[in-house]
Amino acid sequence: MSFTVSIKEEISTSPRLRTEMIAELSAYIRNNGKITSQEIILTTENHFIVERVMEECQELFGILPEEETIENLNFSKKELYQITIKDHLEEIEKELGIVDEKGIYYDVVPKYIVDAEEEIKAYLKGSFLASGSINDPKTSRYHMEILISEPEEAVYVQKLLNGFDLNAKILSREKGYMIYMKEAEKISDFLKLLGATNAVLYYENVRIYRDQKNMTNRLNNCEQANMDKIFETANEQLKQIELIEKNDGIVLLDEKTKTALEYRKKYPEVSLKELAEIISLETGHPLTKSGLNHRMRKIKELAKHFEKRETTSQ
C-alpha cells in the first residue's frame, strides 16, 4: 500500500458531522465528478472511498448510488470503481453548493458550505481524497500535491490551505493545475489538518531520521574537508622545510622557528592547533596557534627565497 493510499484510508474512517459531510462530498464531487444533466459519475481506485461516498449519499440524501467496476485506462493494473448518482440530482447539487437556485454552476463553493474551520478542513479532506497525493518521505523528496482542473477552484483550494499558513503554491499543468507543497513541516501540518494521526507519526519519525542522517553526513563531510585541509597545509609546510634543508638554510632561522620546524617534521599529520599544544606541553613554553602560525610564515618566506633563487639560476 502506498503512503498516499494509507493516508486516504485513514481519513476515510474519521467521523464527521452533517455539515462536514456536505463540505467533504462537495469538494470530492467538484474535483472528481463528471456532472451532466442526467447523472454524476465519480471514479476511484480505492474501495474505501466508495464506501465513504455511498455512506454520505445515504446519510445526507437517503439514496444509494450505483456502483460498478470498470477497466482502468491509465496503464494501471488496478481496476477502477465507478459511482453513478442519478436520483435527486437537483437537490444534491444545490445542497452541496455545486449550483445555485437557478441551476447555474458555482465557480467556487459558496461561503456557507465552508463557514467554520472544521468545514474548511472537511472540504480540503474531500479535495485530497479526490485528487491528492503525498510522497512517502522514506523513499523520495518531500512533496504534496492536489490536481485540480478548473483555475477558480485551484486558486480557492490554495487560499483555504494558506489560511492555515501552509505556503501552498500553484503550477499550471497540461490537464489543469497542481497545488503543491514541498516543505516537510508544512506537509506534516497538512496531515494533522486532515486528521491523519497515524500518517503524521510515520511522517515525523521518517523526517527526524532523515534530518539526523543528513546532519551526520554534513558533519562527516565537514570533518573530512577539515582533515583534507590539515593534510594539505602540513604537506606544503614539509615541502618548504625540505627545500630549506636542501639549501642548508636552517642556520638562518631563529631558535623558536627551528623548534617549530623540528616539531612539524616530528608530527606531520596534526593541525596547527594540535601542534601548538604539543610544543607547549613538551617544551614547557606556552605557544598559541597564532604564535605557531607566525613561525610557519617565516619558514614559508625563507623557502620562497630559495625557490626564487633556484628558478633564477636555471
Last residue of a domain, one of 195, 211, 243: 195
Domain at 145, CATH number: 3.10.28.10
Residues 178, 264 share a domain:
no
pLDDT for position 75: 58
pLDDT for residue 267? 86
What is the residue range of 286's domain?
A: 221-313
Percent of the chain residues topping a pLDDT of 90: 56
According to the model, what pLDDT value does residue 102 have? Answer: 86
Determine, yes or no, domain membership for 204: no
- Position 107 pLDDT exceeds 70: yes
The answer to whether residues 175 and 250 belong to one domain is no
Whether residue 40 is found in the same domain as residue 188:
yes
In a domain, 200, yes or no: no
Residue 95 lies in a domain: yes
Beta bridge partners of 147: 178
**How confident is residue 42, by pLDDT bands cut at 50, 70 and 90?**
very high
What's the domain count of the chain? 2
Q: Is residue 307 one of the residues assigned to a domain? A: yes
* 151 and 271 assigned to the same domain: no
Q: What's the average model confidence in pLDDT over 175-201?
A: 93
The answer to which of 18-32, 69-83, 118-132, 233-247 has the lowest mean pLDDT is 69-83
Mean pLDDT on 4-19: 93
**109 has a pLDDT exceeding 90:** yes
121-137 tens-digit pLDDT: 999 999 999 999 999 98
- Give the integer Cα–Cα distance in Å for 270 and 234: 8
Decide if 44 contacts 9 (C-beta within 8 A).
Answer: no
Window from 71-85, 257-271, 277-291 with minimum mean pLDDT? 71-85
* 173-177-182-185 Cα dihedral, nearest 10 degrees: -170
Do 36 and 142 belong to one domain?
A: yes
Last residue of a domain, one of 179, 195, 211: 195
Please check whether residues 135 and 237 belong to one and the same domain: no
Same domain, residue pair 177 and 228: no
What is the residue whose three cell numbers read 499558513? Answer: 165
pLDDT-derived band at 71, boundaries 50, 70, 90: confident
275 found inside a domain: yes
Is residue 205 assigned to a domain? Answer: no
Answer yes or no: do 177 and 243 share one domain. Answer: no
> What is the Cα–Cα distance from 2 to 67, expressed in whole angstroms?
24
Q: What is the pLDDT, as a whole number, of residue 312?
A: 72
Q: State the greatest distance between any 2 C-alpha atoms of the chain, in Å, as a whole number.
A: 106
Q: Is the pLDDT of residue 214 over 90?
A: no
- Statement to judge: residues 149 and 249 lie in one domain: no
**209 — pLDDT class (breaks 50, 70, 90):** confident
Q: Are 8 and 139 contained in the same domain?
A: yes
Mean pLDDT over 13-34 rounds to 93
| 181 and 228 within one domain | no
- Angle made by CA atoms 69, 73, 77, in degrees to the nearest 5: 70
Q: Which pLDDT score is estimated for 194?
A: 94
Q: Are strands 80-85 and 40-44 parallel, antiparallel or unpaired?
A: antiparallel
Residues 6 or more apart in contact with residue 262 via CB below 8 angstroms: none
Express each pLDDT in 58-67 by its tens digit.
Answer: 999 999 999 9
Mean pLDDT of 255-271: 89
Max mean pLDDT among 172-176, 193-197, 218-222, 248-252 falls in: 193-197
Domain contains 214: no
Residue pair 44/19 in contact by the 8 Å Cβ criterion: no
The DSSP symbol for 13 reads T
What pLDDT score was predicted for residue 77? Answer: 59
Mean pLDDT in residue range 35-62: 92
Q: Is residue 53 part of a domain?
A: yes
What is the pLDDT at residue 76?
Answer: 59
Q: Are residues 234 and 89 in the same domain?
A: no
Average pLDDT of the chain? 89
DSSP category for residue 186: H
- Mean of the pLDDT values across residues 270-292? 89
pLDDT band at 189 (very low <50, low <70, confident <90, very high): very high
